Structure 1
Amino acid sequence: MGDRLFEDVETARSYQDFRPNYIGLGLEKEVASFMGLRNQRSQNVDSVGLDIGCGNGQLTKVLAPLFTKMIGIDRSKSQIDVANEVTTEKNIEYRVNLAEDLSFLQDGSVDLVSTAAAIHYFQPEPFLAEVDRVLKPGGCLLTVLMRADGFYLKTLTNNDSVNKKCQDLMNEFVDVSLSIVRDETKKVLSAGMYTAPDYPDRYSFQVTSKRQYDNIDGFVGFLNSSETLQEYNKQFPEEGDQVDRLKKRLLSILADTSSTPESTPVVLSLLHNCYLYKKPM
């Protein structure tokens, strides 16, 4: 399928409107603690953060308060356009750019490189070489990596049978998504671990991002934000629309306990493995 993701505006807007985000997960606190930063950018003079594969700026905005300047890059112009629309922070700059070519930055000019839910699409050798080049001595790399076994869907009831079927549905979603990505991408998501830089000082932790949808249309918005589902539809049109199929499956599951399944609130949780690596001085 290549890696030309989220390039249409509609998918980019769905990504912004329906995906779980990183607000309130404490990522900025973990970064500040590991790097020895203060919690206000005014105290971290001339500091620069770079968020790669930034999408609409979900992580970019969370980390921006730590740095004098925060740069978000993404290869998708549609994602960058939406990021500029929804971002009000004055110290954030967005640009269309590849992860593997950071030639717009000087050697040793960046304090932190971050990437969330995107690193599995990067080519490891050129990406890590560029990260090492632009990081200052003592600078850090933060990776927030989705796990293939970390997608959870449940209702707000305690009906174990219904919630198990909801989880089976999410497993179907993951299986379809993994079926059309590169083998390298599939391995990273399945293992929950990307190729690590050769930095001895490192720290790992986990976070779970959540999003409650008040009705099934909200969850369908999440499905529509999945470029892998959209790409699957293009490659296998004879199998029907995958978003519509999953929606009908979910409504059928919820109909067991509700006369109005379309109005059932559901909660989506995404488990992420997080890694911080510090470049030697």
Structure 2
Amino acid sequence: MSYIPEGNRQSNVDRFSGFEDTYDRHRPGAPNEVIRILNGYLGYKPALVLDIGCGTGLSTFIWNKHAGQVIGIEPNDDMRSKAESKLYSLMNEQRDVKIRFMSGYSNRLEFPDESADLITCSQSFHWMEPVSTLAEASRVLKPGGVFAAYDCDWPPTASWQAEQAYVELLDHADELLSAKQNKQDQALKHDKEKHLANIRSSGAFRYAREIVFHNRELCDSERYIGLALSQGGIQTVMKLGFSELDEEIERFKALVAEHFQDRTLEVLFSYRMRIGVK
């Protein structure tokens, strides 16, 4: 086991092992609205963007032509390897790619003081220890630099029946893991609703706020089902061989199929971004 800085948990890293292909195929990439919002607050094209907890790079690649350099930081080897394989393919197609990936942790960034313009955490800040992460972000950000934690609400829009089944499936997976998984192996997820309060209470940022925006994407039943099955809780249940969710998963699939009826439809992803300006 590699060294993990204090404040991080091996269980949080391990939660994302073994399903990088499913994750990358079904999860949404970061929408372009992220670039417009953050560059607007920054006021100039960033020279360096750090995307922390970048997973398979879904939130990293959008910055390729919008920053001098983009570095995705991800402690999970499976997720990072998927990102690197995508980067290799991109470099065979394009010249002057501005992206690279590295292993690392949010509260131990291998960068000098005041070196980054933007630090982003897409669907990831709730897996990090907030106090030490925000202190480290403040150290690395330039004056006027921006920290942004943004997440989409689960699930995206569909029928109310499919959405309700999605939420119940995730809740039941978490309940099952809480009851049956070894305590030392359970991942620790922080409350997303406290992101803004944590940014403000850190004392490291002169201004903080929450921004809500939406993005429409095309989706069919396969992707909608894949989105649910890409959730770490459900993946952990399956990896542990628990069968209690099997019937519920089949019911969820039937409700999704009933809604989409072999069609590709627009769905709405709703995002919440919490920013801090150093």
Write out aligned runs for 1:86-125 (5 A).
Answer: 86-87=86-87, 88=90, 90-102=97-109, 104-125=110-131
2:21 is aligned with 1:13: yes
- When structure 1 is superposed on structure 2, of 87-96 and 172-181 the one drifting more is 172-181
Contact 2:170 2:234 in 1 (8 A): no
Code of the residue aligned with 1:174 in structure 2: it is L
Give the secondary structure class of the aligned counterpart of 1:185: coil
Give the secondary structure class of the aligned counterpart of 2:56: coil
Aligned position for 2:51: 51
| TM-score normalised by structure 1 residue count | 0.77
Write out aligned runs for 1:1-281 (5 A).
Answer: 2-4=11-13, 5-8=15-18, 11-24=19-32, 26-38=33-45, 47-87=47-87, 88=90, 90-102=97-109, 104-147=110-153, 150-154=154-158, 163-179=159-175, 180=177, 185=189, 188-189=191-192, 193=196, 195-196=198-199, 197-198=202-203, 199-214=205-220, 216-234=221-239, 237-241=242-246, 245-251=248-254, 254-255=257-258, 263-265=262-264, 268-279=267-278
Code of the residue aligned with 2:70 in structure 1: it is M
User: Percent of aligned positions with the same letter in both sequences?
Assistant: 18
1:36-77 C-alpha deviation (Å, 9 max, x unpaired): 114xxxxx5xx2110001111112122333321111011111
Aligned position for 1:157: none
**CA distance 1:106–1:217, shift in 2 (3 Å):** same
**CA distance 1:264–1:12, shift in 2 (3 Å):** same
Q: Distance in 1 between matches of 2:256 and 2:139?
A: 51
1:163-214 C-alpha deviation (Å, 9 max, x unpaired): 221121122133235444879625x136675621421323431133444333
1:84-140 C-alpha deviation (Å, 9 max, x unpaired): 2223261111012122211x2111111111111010000112211211111112211
Q: Distance in 2 between matches of 1:240 and 1:63?
A: 38
**CA distance 1:254–1:60, shift in 2 (3 Å):** closer
Aligned length: 250
Contact 2:48 2:116 in 1 (8 A): yes
Contact 1:145 1:192 in 2 (8 A): no
Q: Distance in 2 between matches of 1:55 and 1:252?
A: 29
Code of the residue aligned with 2:129 in structure 1: it is Q
After superposing on structure 2, the runs of 4+ consecutive aligned residues of structure 1 that deviate more than 6 Å are 181-184
Code of the residue aligned with 2:163 in structure 1: it is Q
**CA distance 1:49–1:173, shift in 2 (3 Å):** same
After TM superposition, give the deviation of residue 30 of structure 1 in Å: 0.8
Aligned position for 2:4: none
Aligned position for 1:158: none
- When structure 1 is superposed on structure 2, of 130-139 and 204-213 the one drifting more is 204-213
After TM superposition, give the deviation of residue 23 of structure 1 in Å: 3.1
| TM-score normalised by structure 2 residue count | 0.78
